[in-house]
Chain A
Amino acid sequence: MIADIIIGGLINGSVYALLAIGFSLIFGAARIVNLAHTAFYMVASYCIYFATHKMGIHPVLAMLVAIILVTLIGLICYKLFINPIREHEAAVLIATIALAMAMQEIMLLIFTGDFLSVPSLASGYLKIIGVKIAYQQLLTIGLALLILAGVWTLLKKTRLGLAIRSTADDREVANLMGMNESRVAMITMGVSVGLAAFAGAVVVPLAVVNPHMWMHPLIMMLAVVVLGGLGSLKGSFIGAYILGFAESLVVFLIPMGAFLKGSVALSIMILVLLIRPEGLFGVAFEEER
């Protein structure tokens, strides 16, 4: 039971962290609230399903193909639908919702609404003090942490990361300092969608693939981002694990918990916001006028 809670919390937390960090990146660098973020996660899961089941590609290769393909789709969507209306915040919100709906419907048309599953990368399980832990679960957690570390290095150690962070800090000044703002936004979009696709790829062997699988992660991701503080990567990371553990605690400990898991996680978010309106690690923005 305790082990279940810990493993569940770690997996939920890692996936939410991957999603939330991607979302924070594009929000920070381009001020785009991308509500289609988790739809890319869903599309990546379907890509892997298609590659492994219909084309018989090895799962690891399928993962790579899916991530590249989905990143490309994300960039095309960005160029076609989001970039032209970037200055209109409300329009961007609606456009991304419409994009997510369109992707959901396309998946529904191609694969129908059936619940599908994908073979795991590693079979078998580990026994620690009488508790079974599947290798796949360990692999998911490990890969997620690895990629998170990779993103951290990208942002803190490379020139590209510097450009992304400075654009997030102040777009105009970054532009004046010779960073091509629209190109940084484009690259950030690529990284962000790539992270969403990766989240989909690592979690797909443990999850059920269906066209509506983006809704719940979307809400949890938004809660994580708000809890941690918009645009704060550290906040997203810690917030993700807080809500991930909260969810798995509720599911395992409270009767009818599966219905309440979203409610409890979101209530935690609201409680934190009551005390700290800018989230756990958010910076209280100067009043933007």
Chain B
Amino acid sequence: MPLRKRGRMGILGVYLRKIYNLFKGEVLVLPSRIVVFLFFFVLLFLPVVTQDPYLLRILILTSIFAILAASWDLLSGFTGQVNFGHALFFGVGAYTSALLNLHALIPPWGSIPLGALAAVLAGLIIGIPCLRLRGTYLALTTLAFPIILMGIVFAIPDITGGELGVSGLNRLSGSRLYDYYITVVLMLGLCTIMWKITDSKTGIIFHAIREDELAVRAAGINTTRYKLLAFSLSGFFAGIAGGLYAHFMRIAGPSTLEVSMSFQVVIWAVFGGVVTIYGPVGAVFILFPLLEFLRFWPEFRMLMFAVVILLILLYMPDGLLPWIRDKIEKECPRCKVRNVATRKDCRVCTAPLD
């Protein structure tokens, strides 16, 4: 009897030790991984500590916009197709899921994916003319699409509600806490998926298209297909963000299509650091609560927001998070593995770190 018990405990202990070792070897060695772990941990267990509805509301909106900013990075950061009209995807997602919910009575779990599919369609529609453009032309042309759609929204107020938008949608779920878990888990999941995509073979081709499209074509890769894929993937994730926003706010209005919304996304992403996925997500989690915090001085709020961005960019033109990461971590010159900045030699190949 005591022997069996010890055996069971022993197996459990072995597994626990294995998990602990894995955690120690893979997570605790790098400060950036510790931060990501803490980020997941805090977000998932926050409601245990506090269920303040205002705090949860801010975090829900932050999560939604984090998905949006990361999806911009997927298209514009990785693939280099700088999109100044990202609000189009957000707005199409929001309006489609709102109209489907209101008229076809599809519940949120159905209308949000359908809204995302509509955003994919929008991505393909604007992606096809944009294939021929590059660089600044592309950026300035994409700015036009949400404005065109907004004109149409205003011109047919019978369907879209004009300035007032489509209101009276179903709630995302029964309570604020469930809303919180739905959006946060979706955000963490989708951002991980996006990060995985950028790490995959497809992601490498995206990288290559940004760096040198001609060379990628010369290597026998159909860049047209990959660029359209980037447009539709980005549209899909942004559409989900739009649908979540519509159902959480219970309204889809023209504010989702505004130029300032498109600019906001670019600000978040560039502030956090493009071509990283974690950069835009981190930037939203810094800037959006900051904007809420600044509401104590309502008349100086946007001014201070603008000044913070100007000053940070002046010293860190590559974005905030990559700058911090470079400060606390060093790349091994021999095996390209990242190390804590305090180490003298590489943790894998023991080569001295400059």
Contact = CB atoms under 8 A, between A and B. Distances in A.
From B143, B152, B154, B317, name the one whose CB has the most chain A CB atoms within 10 angstroms. B317
Contacts of B152: 260, 263
A279 B300 CA distance: 41
Interface stretch (A68-76, A183-191, A199-207, A221-229): A221-229
B181 interface: no
A266 B317 contact: no
A230 interface: yes
B141 A270 contact: yes
Contacts of B140: 33, 222-223, 225-226
A150 to B, nearest CB: 27
A222 B147 CA distance: 13
B314 A99 contact: no
A91 B313 contact: yes
Contacts of B214: 287, 289
Contact of B313 (A85, A223, A288): A85
Contacts of A145: none
Given A85-B317, A94-B270, A105 B306 contact: yes
A262 B147 contact: yes
A230 B314 contact: no
Contacts of B136: 27, 33, 230
Given A95-B313, A273-B133, A277-B133, A106 B155 contact: no
Contacts of A97: 263, 266-267
Nearest to B82: A90
A81 B306 contact: no
Contacts of B129: 270, 273-274
A269 interface: yes
B144 A277 contact: no
A239 B314 CA distance: 35
Nearest to B299: A109
B301 to A, nearest CB: 8
Contact of A101 (B82, B270, B274, B306): B306
B316 to A, nearest CB: 9
Nearest to B132: A277
Given A215-B259, A219-B259, A274-B129, A99 B310 contact: yes
B310 A95 contact: yes
A230 B136 CA distance: 9
Contacts of B259: 215, 219
Given A33-B136, A102-B307, A259 B154 contact: yes
- If over half of A's interface residues share one DSSP class (helix, strand or loop), that class is named, otherwise mixed; here it is helix
A155 B82 CA distance: 31
Contacts of B144: 219, 223, 266-267, 269-270
Q: Is the interface of B mostly helix, strand, loop or mixed?
A: helix
Interface in A273-289: 273-274, 277-279, 287-289
B303 A109 contact: yes
A98 interface: yes
Given A106-B303, A270-B129, A289-B214, A81 B314 contact: yes
Interface in A3-47: 27, 33
A124 interface: no
B148 interface: yes
Contact of B317 (A91, A256, A273, A289): A91
Nearest to A289: B212
B271 interface: yes
Contacts of A94: 266-267, 270-271, 309, 313
Interface residues of A, number: 48
B44 interface: no
A130 interface: no
A4 B135 CA distance: 38
B318 A88 contact: yes
A97 B266 CA distance: 10
B23 interface: no
B151 interface: yes
Nearest to B215: A289
A102 B313 CA distance: 15
B137 interface: yes
A106 B307 CA distance: 11
A109 B152 CA distance: 33
A93 B313 CA distance: 11
Given A99-B306, A105-B306, A222 B267 contact: no
A19 to B, nearest CB: 14
Contacts of B38: none
Contacts of B147: 219, 262-263, 266
* Residue picked from A85, A104, A108, A269, most chain B C-beta under 10 Å: A85
A98 B303 contact: no
A98 B141 contact: no
B302 interface: yes
Contacts of B137: 226, 230, 273, 277-279
A260 B151 contact: yes
B305 interface: yes
B284 to A, nearest CB: 14
Nearest to B148: A263
A256 B154 contact: yes
Given A88-B317, A260-B152, A263-B150, 9 more contacts: A98-B307, A101-B302, A219-B147, A262-B151, A263-B149, A267-B144, A270-B144, A273-B132, A279-B137
**Nearest 8 pairs between A and B by C-beta?**
A263-B151, A259-B154, A266-B144, A105-B303, A102-B306, A88-B317, A91-B317, A277-B132
Interface of B: 82, 129, 132-133, 135-137, 139-141, 143-144, 147-152, 154-155, 212, 214, 259, 263, 266-267, 270-271, 274, 299-300, 302-303, 305-307, 309-310, 313-314, 317-318
9 contacts: A91-B317, A94-B266, A99-B310, A102-B303, A225-B140, A259-B151, A263-B147, A263-B148, A269-B144
